Amino acid sequence: MEKLVTTALPYANGPIHLGHLVEHVQADIWVRFQRLIGRQCLFLCGDDAHGSAIMLAAEKSGIQPEQWIETIRQEHYRDFQDFLVDYDLYHTTHSDENKQLSCEIYKTLRDSGLIERKRVTQAYDDQANMFLPDRYVKGTCPKCGSEDQYGDSCEQCGAVYTPDQLLNPKSVLTQTTPIYKDSEHYFFALSKCQDLLEDWVGRGALQPEVEKKLSEWFDHGLKNWDISRDAPYFGIEIPDAPGKYFYVWMDAPIGYIAATKHWANSRGLDEKKMWSHDSKTDIVHFIGKDILYFHGLFWPAILHHAGYKTPDHIYAHGFLTINGKKMSKSRGTYVTARAYLDAFDPDYLRYYFAAKLSPTISDIDLNWTEFASRINAELIGKIINIGSRCTCFIHRYFSGVLSDHLSDEALYQQIISNESTLLQLYDSRDYNQCLRLLLQMADQVNQYLDQVKPWAMVKDESVLDQVGPICTLGVSVFYSLMGFLSPVLPGTFERVQSFLRVEHSNWSDFCRPLLSQQIDVFPRLLERVKLSDASFIDE
């Protein structure tokens, strides 16, 4: 396997929303591109299915946690499938493979002297009679002063801390001020891994701004990481510690290996060939910038000391805002994947996200007015319109058969010569520049058609025979544009393939004109966006 690609595991406590889709669409575009140019990619994800939050949610619903997480997993997978995110496997961390691997990795770390025990003071809700998970304590960030922040990290400044460091802490369960009680916990000795991680961070696996961010933690010295939680807890029990469970950030990333194992073993293969120290498989993680600490420091340290390959690339992205505001149910900016799908084609959002995504970790904004404009004016008005205006003449005057030559071979080659730049832009995840170039290519052929005016030429029988090669040029460029866009618009491209009667699936196929080809009548590939179709948009 040439590349093993993962996205962060959605937590099994609620529906997929548009913020999740930024990452899953970004990764899916990249994987589709890799496959298009002939590279083997294994694309994996699954639900993060453990933790107190899930235990409490299941209890509130009156069902067992196992039933809760499987229902959520199926809903998550359905949403991703309907957004055309093409996973080879959508697994779960609540699996036999993950339990086995988590325990094995823990024992290896323990036997290597990297697991330490010490008593810690923990937030405890006296009214709910339980220790509180970090995310069940909210308060004011001790570093930047932002309010309503979780007990483990700040979404505003990225600071990592413990719940007792929060200012004005409150229990999410009862809104009471937590008390603090002692309990013995198990720690991964991250402080012993600083030299290893400083070397790893400098190897080029990270974006420059991510490398800079992670290096800031080295300046203060890495702290040992608490990997245990007290009962009651839904998760994997630590082998030599009854009543103690792995914290989700211990077993969740191991879920990447567990998913690989499940996929490989079901095919009679060995997952170790992809995750061993000397593996030739590139391990690629797509994540949000809010979980850099876990994936960029904690995870590679565990992998290295457990005898596994560290990631070759970690690609982080920024947050999604909607109309300039953070996603929020109370503000009406929280939109689920299913609500969107009830109103619009999934390819619209894939196109919009691609037009916004770059290789950086900058936040992106979903502005619904701009969304409609990009789909209607760019995608339909500039690109889809090329196919529509040219195929109608092919059917009306040439029995639906494309010409055996192009009207301007030099122009076609000039436009298609941009494919080498598109290759580089896709590979580097610079999708916004990729789409910008594709629109420039569309502008070239539209300007040519406006210049030669085939709609006027068909009225003059003496030049009617020239219209076929002109429109064949237009259809050929349209097919190339849609082929180059196929990682972004897989659903639309499938419909294009159908009416053009082509079955090509390789990048090089999009660099050759369609000649002497019988084609079907142009279908309505995409409808124009009407924002009034969506109840969640307040125009």
Q: Would you place residue 504 in the very low, low, confident or very high pLDDT band (cuts 50, 70, 90)?
A: confident
Structure token digits, residue 320: 């999604």
Q: Is residue 108 situated within a structural domain? A: no
Confidence label for 492 from pLDDT (cuts 50, 70 and 90): very high
133 and 209 both lie in a single domain: yes
Does residue 147 lie in a domain region? yes
CATH of the domain at 265: 3.40.50.620
For the segment 34-59, the average pLDDT, to the nearest whole number, is 95
What integer pLDDT is reported at residue 344 of this predicted model?
97
Residues 465 and 376 in one domain: yes
Question: Are residues 123 and 60 located together in one domain of the fold?
Answer: no
Residue 60 burial (10 A CB sphere; 0-12, 13-18, 19+): exposed
Range in 73-82, 198-207, 433-442, 498-507 the model is least confident about:
498-507
Residue 538 has pLDDT above 90, yes or no: no
Domain count, the chain: 3
User: Looking at residue 294, what is its pLDDT?
Assistant: 94
Same domain, 506 and 387: yes
- For residue 474, is pLDDT > 80? yes
Residue 75 has pLDDT above 60, yes or no: yes
Query: Does 520 reside within a domain?
Result: no
Q: Is residue 264 domain-shared with residue 339, that is, in the same domain?
A: yes
Average pLDDT, the chain: 95
HEC string of 243-287 equals: CEEECHHHHHHHHHHHHHHHHHHCCCCCCHHHHECCCCCEEEEEE
Task: For residue 417, give the DSSP letter.
Answer: T
Whether 168 shows a pLDDT value over 80: the answer reads yes
pLDDT score at 330: 54
Q: Kindly state the average pLDDT of the residues 21-31.
A: 98
Mean of pLDDT values over 223-232 = 93
Of 67, 527, 53, 82, nearest in space to 340 by CA: 82
| Same domain assignment for residues 253 and 335 | yes
Task: Determine contact, residues 438/504, Cβ cutoff 8 Å.
Answer: no
**Is 410 found in the same domain as 293?**
no
Give 98 or 156, the one with higher predicted confidence: 98
- Whether 273 is covered by a domain: the verdict is yes
Looking at the fold, whether 319 and 392 belong to one and the same domain comes out as no
**Same structural domain, 280 and 223:** no
**pLDDT band at residue 19 using 50, 70 and 90 as cut-offs:** very high
Q: Which range marks the domain in which residue 308 is found? A: 3-103+249-346
Residue 496 sits in the same domain as residue 382: yes
Q: What is the CATH number of the domain that holds 492?
A: 1.10.730.10
173 pLDDT more than 60: yes
For the cut 80, the answer to whether the pLDDT of residue 328 exceeds it is no
**Residue 507 pLDDT class (50, 70, 90 cuts):** very high
| CATH code for the domain of 220 | 2.170.220.10
Please give the pLDDT value at position 122. Answer: 86
SS3 50: coil
In a domain, 212, yes or no: yes
Residues 418 and 473 occupy one common structural domain = yes
Q: Answer whether residue 137 is part of any domain.
A: yes
3-class DSSP state for residue 43?
strand
Query: Rounded to two decimals, what is the model's pTM?
Result: 0.93
Same domain for 182 and 65: no
Domain presence at residue 352: no
pLDDT of residue 496: 97
Residue-wise pLDDT tens digits, 332-359: 678 999 999 999 999 999 999 999 999 9
User: Strand pairing of 149-150 and 137-140?
Assistant: antiparallel
In a domain, 91, yes or no: yes
Q: What pLDDT shows up at residue 133?
A: 80
